[in-house]
Amino acid sequence: MELKEVLQVLEQLAPLSLAESWDNVGLLVEPSKSRPIKTVLLTNDLTDGVMEEAEALSCDLIVSYHPPLFRPIKQLVQKDWKQRLAIRAVEAGMAVFSPHTSWDSMKGGVNDWLVGGLGSGQVSVLSQALGGASHSHKLEFMVRSPEELNAVVEELKANDDGTALQCSGTRPDSSSIHVSLTCSASALTSSVQILLKHSAPCQSLSILKLEKAPLPGHGQGRLSVLDQPVTVATAIQKMKSHLGLANLRLALGAGRTLESSVCTAAVCAGSGASVLSGVQADLFITGEMSHHEVLDAVAKGTSVILSDHSNSERGFLAVFRERLAVRLPDAVTVVLSKADRDPLEVV
């Protein structure tokens, strides 16, 4: 199977358009010589240990949840550990792909998996994902005749910056034609300048900013109203089992005990304070929060469970492996990394 075909499957499972604007997702390392993809290695982080594992497996594609290359690179040198890994991938002819926040956002993704550890409930998205509309503005104006309309449209098309212009016209009466035009933000200024040169459009022009449509079920963080409320102590045991961990960190909300009831839980995989801030819930579950962020939550009566960053994400790899494997030919093996682990441990 060719690399581009595997990438298409990955994109179908989790569109990269769902990723946050600040994120660095997609194909990060592409070999100069194409070769069939026979082994895909899934990992939460690409580390030296995971790279050694990939080399031993003669891996063709590494899917690293966290992007090993995030900030712009001005050089590729051995002294930087992430650049060193990128060099090794290139030398071995391995491709590297990262989905990161597209997996967090997608329906049935990391956050849905994480909140599912507490049991069934009515789940909603905390930070709604929005569709990527190509047209961001609507321009409405009047022209006196079909000839004037044609002249205006031809000027707009001639000045088009490559963004498709969509135009429609209706004639509410015999004296004028009402025109509605949608365009991208980049085409807005030039389109307005053209319309202002014509007397009728100039006198009747109105501009509306179009909102992006929400994508139901997609977005960052989840809030679950549990079908069966549990105690804080039971929630801890459920999450230990779900995450495969012997230990979790707990901060009890003000006035709460281990026997206090949890009816609502808000989760955000990884470092979730910015998504969870201001959310009303009995319990927060995330990988990490700062000292003061925990204090803020506790003061509001919300208990907090922390698992350490990647421990709140890693378990989803097994779920994704099954989804990916059934969409790839039998000749392609999808492997979970055995070397991948959170850098922190309780001692």
Annotation: binding site for a divalent metal cation: 66, 104, 309, 313
Long-range contacts formed by 162-170: CB under 8 A, 24+ apart? 163/134, 163/135, 163/187, 164/134, 164/135, 165/191, 166/135, 169/143
Contact 42, 317 (CB under 8 A): yes
Which residue type does 138 have?
A: K
Which residue has 């098309």 as its token pair?
Answer: 157
- Report which DSSP code applies to 117: G
Whole-number Å distance between alpha carbons of 163 and 157: 10
Q: What residue numbers does the annotated binding site cover?
A: 66, 104, 309, 313
Which residue has 């206090």 as its token pair?
Answer: 260
243 backbone dihedrals φ, ψ, rounded to 5°? -90, -10
Contact 167, 180 (CB under 8 A): yes
Residues paired with 268 in a beta bridge: 286
Tokens coding 254: 């003000």
Whole-number Å distance between alpha carbons of 138 and 132: 16
